[in-house]
Amino acid sequence: MRSFIIALAFAILALASGPARAQDQLQAELTGVLERYYAAQRDGDFDAWMAVCSEEFRGMVASGFSSDEEKQAFLEWQKKAAPARFEVQYLEPGSDDGSATLYTIADGKRPPATPDGEWVDAQSEVDVSFVREADGWKVAMVLVGADPATIQRSGDASFDPLEAYDTDVSTNLGGRIVRTEFNDDHTLVVVRLMDEEEFVYLPSRQELIDVGFNPDLLVPHATVEVEGHPHRSDKFKVWATGLNIL
């Protein structure tokens, strides 16, 4: 009996770790594709660069210039913009349609803010989406976001009573969850919108359960839509009256 229990325990462990291993393998594979993408971008090797891009992405890039001079200028700009290194923060495997997204932090340079300005060293949040085509995973889109150091947020995450919010005014927002904090009397969900973070306040975990909402869905990188009332004096705080997970 003891050997049976041990064997059953190992079987359960294998079943539980299977999806995790598959996700790790997918992340490693996509990371390798992205490394080849950036290497070709840094080298200005247009053919090698396009070889790891999706068919749709290649068509979009090719339509961006109408002469060899424009193409060369485009490549020179991309060589400067290519990150020197990157770190994967999170993998979103997508569904069974052959798509996935890597959320990364990249170290590189930001283009000048003015025509006569200089490129500056900076980090950027970069979301890279992939599609699986006949010959493997391809980069489908690269979205460069804000420098994490420049994210605007409230300096005070403390929970304020409902009276601190303007209940005569309704607001709505959408974005990705950065983190969730469950407290005895409230739930704090930090939502990223471009280069801003909103502090969204909801009832406590138990109160959410009591009204039929599953608080375990409030995980980092989940995309949400929020309706609520704005804080009277802090533009980064919202008391939520409704929240949908997309």
The DSSP string of 63-96 is TT-SSHHHHHHHHHHHHHHS-SEEEEEEEE---T
Q: Are residues 192 and 170 in the same domain?
A: yes
Quickly count: other Cβ atoms within 10 Å of residue 216's Cβ: 10
Whether 232 has a pLDDT exceeding 90, the answer reads yes
Q: Of 131, 149, 167, which one is at a domain's C-terminal end?
A: 149
Q: Are residues 54 and 95 in the same domain?
A: yes
- Using alpha carbons, select from 213, 172, 214 the residue that is nearest to residue 193: 172
pLDDT, one tens digit per residue, over 182-212 is 999 999 999 998 889 999 999 999 999 999 9
Domain ranges, residue 90: 2-149
Query: What Rg value do the Cα atoms of the chain yield, rounded?
Result: 23
Per-residue pLDDT, 96: 67
CATH number of the CATH domain containing 228: 2.40.50.140
Q: Of 118, 149, 180, which one is at a domain's C-terminal end?
A: 149
**Could you give the percent of the chain with pLDDT greater than 70?**
91
Whether 224 has a pLDDT exceeding 50, the answer reads yes
Which residue type does 52 have? V
By CB atoms closer than 10 A (0-12, 13-18, 19+), residue 81 is middle
Which tokens sit at 60?
A: 């979009």
Q: Are residues 131 and 204 in the same domain?
A: no
Number of domains in the chain: 2
The size of the chain, in residues, is 246
Which tokens sit at 35?
A: 């490394």
Q: Of 116, 149, 182, which one is at a domain's C-terminal end?
A: 149
Q: 9: which residues sit within 8 A by CB, 6+ positions away?
A: none
pLDDT, one tens digit per residue, over 75-113 is 999 999 999 999 999 998 876 678 999 999 999 998 888
Q: Are residues 101 and 183 in the same domain?
A: no
